[in-house]
Chains A and B, each alone.
Chain A
Amino acid sequence: MNPAYLGLVYFVWFLSTYFIVVLILSLIEYKEELFISPALDKNDILPNVSIIISAFNEEESISASLDSLLQLDYPKEKVEIIVVNDGSTDNTREAVQPYTENSHIHFIDNTSNKGKAACLNQGIAAATGEYVACMDADSVVDPQILKKTVPYFKNKKTGAVTVTVLVKNPKNFLEKVIELEYILGLSLFLKIYSLFNTIQVTPGPFSIYRKSVVDEIGGFDVTNITEDLEIAYRIHKAKYIIAFCMTTFVKTIIPNNFTGLYRQRRRWYTGAIQTAVQHRNMFFTSEYGIFGYFVPFNFAIIILGLVLFILSQYLLVTNIIKNISLFALTNYNFLAFLSLREFDPLALSIFGFFGISSICMTLLTLIIGMRFARQSLRTRIPGSVGFVFMFFLYQLFWFVSLYTALTKRKIRW
């Protein structure tokens, strides 16, 4: 066995297991705090909030989004909704038009496509609220979302608040797998990250910002393909906190096929790499607390894991090719080969142990995570099976994204 390969296996296994163990320990340690949010006092005056929706070809979903906003449990006169049309070529304009009769809903109708970040900045510039919430046009919010998130801003250091992102009506297998990923990755784990002040993203479906902070840092970066991720780095850079609220949620539409998921993840991961490179001066410095160490640690796991994955796939493929050429010599007599196979526990190598322990850790995370997220796992068994093996798909997405980032290929939103 090549000692370098063996060392890499040990190192990657150790880093990723350590990451999962710390996550599980944090969940256990902070289990009481997960669903506790600061509440409004009776004497608190509710602030004005502007909600900005950037819409590009959202004729089918924008009505549901606006309807959910009209159901908000928040004084109507304190909510301003700004819809920014990003040069849609479908009937988004016509879909929004009936809502503009409501004096609290404003419509900025761009005839050309500017990009999501530019549209959000346009909305922020027009906003009059003390806080600005940015929301995707394909998402619907919990009526309590503002009442639950606004109190977090009592802490003057809070720059943004994000919420649980759930999947809207998951139907097929892929959607059910991603649903679990959202419950854990875009909800529970973000909550844990928030306790360490290491949130790296303010998710696009719904995040609320202190407007003065957004103005101070110069709004969204129009050159970045993952503007919701990039702004999180600059909030940390400006020494503000990103809080996470688990007691409210936003439901969003997710890709329902492989191509859609591939495009989404390629954009997310390429954007994550580009953003990390852009803000690399934040790493390995105590100035930004754990965040400065957590992000490079995270990327170390991803990149080393990817190197290991590629090496393993190379070995696997060369082995398959070799075996095919061997079977050609025996007229593809697979039956004889299979009859020689036997179960021998002594034949389990250390790699087998690492593999089994990794699957066990993933399952443990899933079971504990769903329990702490107060979600049922029993009703999501098919998705759980897929979730354990999504690792292979993510490695593929990371590989493509790394290539895209390194070759500086342009990706459209």
Chain B
Amino acid sequence: MRRGQHGLVHPLSALAPALRRWFTARLGAADQVVLDGPQRITVGHSRAMLAVRVGLPEGSREYVLRVEQGGVFGTESLKEVRLMRALRAAGLPVAPVRWYERDPSVVGAPFFVMDRIRGRGENPQLGSIRELVRLLQRQHELDWRSAGLGFLDPPATPRAATLGQIDRWESIYREARFLPVPLLDEAAAWLRRHAPPPRRIALVHGDPGPGNYIYEGDRIQAITDWEFAHLGDPDEDWVYMATIRGAAMSREEWQTLFKTEAGVEISDRAWRFWDVFNQFKGACANLTALRLFSDGVNQAPNMVAVGTSIQLLLQSRMAELIGQDREGEEGNGT
């Protein structure tokens, strides 16, 4: 049994006794609960997702453990737990979070436990995508102050929200890098020069779109993966959904959907900016995976792939967009 490797104790079967004791204590069972699992769910890079079935005298319950991976993508669990609880209380479809465990000795890293939501995650059809667009608009219209989201570091001004996000991801890149990445340095400077004024400050999911929600037919059961959420410009989410997660549809199809389902229209300038920003953010975030891999914190193969080839794909697209923007300016004589 090894600790630290892949952010978890391995092999996973070695976790069962500790988890059985842990659930027994949490559920207040007089006798030890019966535990089936854990089984790793094949999604996610920022967190390891472990499914367990806990048997109790009154019946069994299914849970998912969302386990930290050594700080991949510069995120941590506690903020995600507080946010998910607040959003569920506000009526958004979010899995109920039952417990947060900060002690890494249980499974090798901090984790939280939520109810397992049954449904599909891959290859969504248009019906559930339409509902997702409507839910994203609801999320953006949420009064984040009265929903108790003040812990998300409210920016002083709308412009500060966007600049703060550029600073955040640039800082994460600088901490994770082995060498300077000139195209990322250029992008950070380009983004500061081109930041559009936000229309308002809203709760931004940060990674919305196909693959990050669970559905049955046209009905969304839960929106997942809240670790990138922050207060900022909602256009970040719309463009992210269409460009990073929405490859199955064209930009025009997404724009039509945003307009018809949510009444949202985004200027070309803002679209270009958030497209560059999201590629930049992805590249910066993914460099943390390479750092953790090389430092021996998490040496799973997905970490090195995310930190190199996926990161390079995002960087390439980002540089291409900035180059096109410059060509456009020169073509316009500006």
Do A and B truly interact?
A: no
